[in-house]
Structure 1
Amino acid sequence: MKITVTIDHPTGDFQNRLLALLAEHATHVELDATWTVQRAEQYYRSLPKRARRIVKLSVAGDGYVASEDLRDDETTSLRGHSASLKRLLQRGAMRGLWPEDIHPPITPEGPGFGKVVGYAMDEDLVPVFFTAIQNVETEPEKWAEQRLTQVAALEKAVQAQGGTWDTRRAVTALSDAGHEASDKRARQILRDLAASGLLVKTDPDRAVYATKA
């Protein structure tokens, strides 16, 4: 019998109890140490800027990037990146993002003594990290697009329905249009619509607005 359990972002007491349970039955538990797109996204998000560049260029190079392609100039050193990549992998394991024995997605290559001539990534990980990098780097664009879409959706509802608008009505209208928005986000959109002249604030102490006559 084989049972597969996937838990996204375990936190707090639940994570501690889960790890304790797995440790108790370690001889019967086989952890999935595969790099998935989700794990790759979490890994890439956690990297500092220069380390991200190493991973990105390794993917672009079908699994390898030479040291000369990473240096901004002849004086730029690659020392220290290997240790930081290792620490990141350890911190992720402690947070439950991946198993402790997961294989490093990228490894330094060199003659030793701290000298690095390049970084390599297993070929089968290249498409996984390619998708993960795309997902992470397009998140700001997607978020901006979503924000604009939410404003347009509420603007359309206000124009069609008129009347008085508060936070609850705005959240409901957005939900009806297929958008999940928090109270804070709904209030911000109401302020934006008021700034554009579509709504007028009618209560100085609450987020209550009315369409212009």
Structure 2
Amino acid sequence: MRITVTVDDPTGDFQGKLLALLAEHAPQVEVDATWTIERAARYYRELPTRARDIVRLAAVQDGLVEASELRTNGDASLRGHSGALKRVLERGVRQGWWPDGMTPPIEPQGPGFGKVKGYLMPLHLVDIFSTAIDNIEK
């Protein structure tokens, strides 16, 4: 048996009880942690402008955004981009927009220590995010 439940704007009390029930039966519950056009649109709308640029460019460039494309007006720093991408993903879990365990739709690429050479969106998400962004920016 497969049961799909969608609750738009649940109250805090209801959401807490539902999540507790699901946790109680966790071994039998399969959580849908896939990116859909609706989830991608929500993620994109919640991002600050600079982070939106990264996601939009990745969606139109087969997933890859080079750091040099993001450095504009002499600004050599990409500080803060990754944090915004992560915070929206975490906020989505807290707000119930998507379940815990969603994979980040885009990740920084680089040697580490805060240095970013670019951002990469998995190829299977490019069309999903491209469609979501097109729907928003019509």
Q: TM-score if structure 2 supplies the norm length?
A: 0.93
Shift of 1:124: 1.0
Q: How far does the alpha carbon of each residue in 1:99-147 deviate from its partner, in whole angstroms, 9 at most, with x for none? A: 1101000000001110000000011111111111112223xxxxxxxxx
Q: CA RMSD in A?
A: 1.4
Distance 2:7 2:129 in 1: 21
Distance 2:51 2:73 in 1: 16
Shift of 1:73: 3.1
Map 1:6-155 to 2 at 5 A.
6-138=6-138
Shift of 1:84: 2.0
Which one has a bigger Cα radius of gyration?
A: 1
Shift of 1:35: 0.3
Shift of 1:68: 0.3
SS at match of 2:68: helix
Counting aligned pairs with the same residue, the percent is 60
Contact 1:37 1:129 (8 Å CA) reproduced: yes
Distance 1:119 1:130 in 2: 16
Distance 1:128 1:115 in 2: 28
Shift of 1:22: 1.3
Distance 1:121 1:11 in 2: 33
Q: TM-score if structure 1 supplies the norm length?
A: 0.61
Distance 1:37 1:23 in 2: 27
Distance 1:135 1:19 in 2: 31
- Aligned residue pair count: 138
Q: How far does the alpha carbon of each residue in 1:74-101 deviate from its partner, in whole angstroms, 9 at most, with x for none? A: 3331122112211111111011111110
Tell me: higher relative CO, structure 1 or 2? Use CA pairs within 8 A at least 6 residues apart: 2
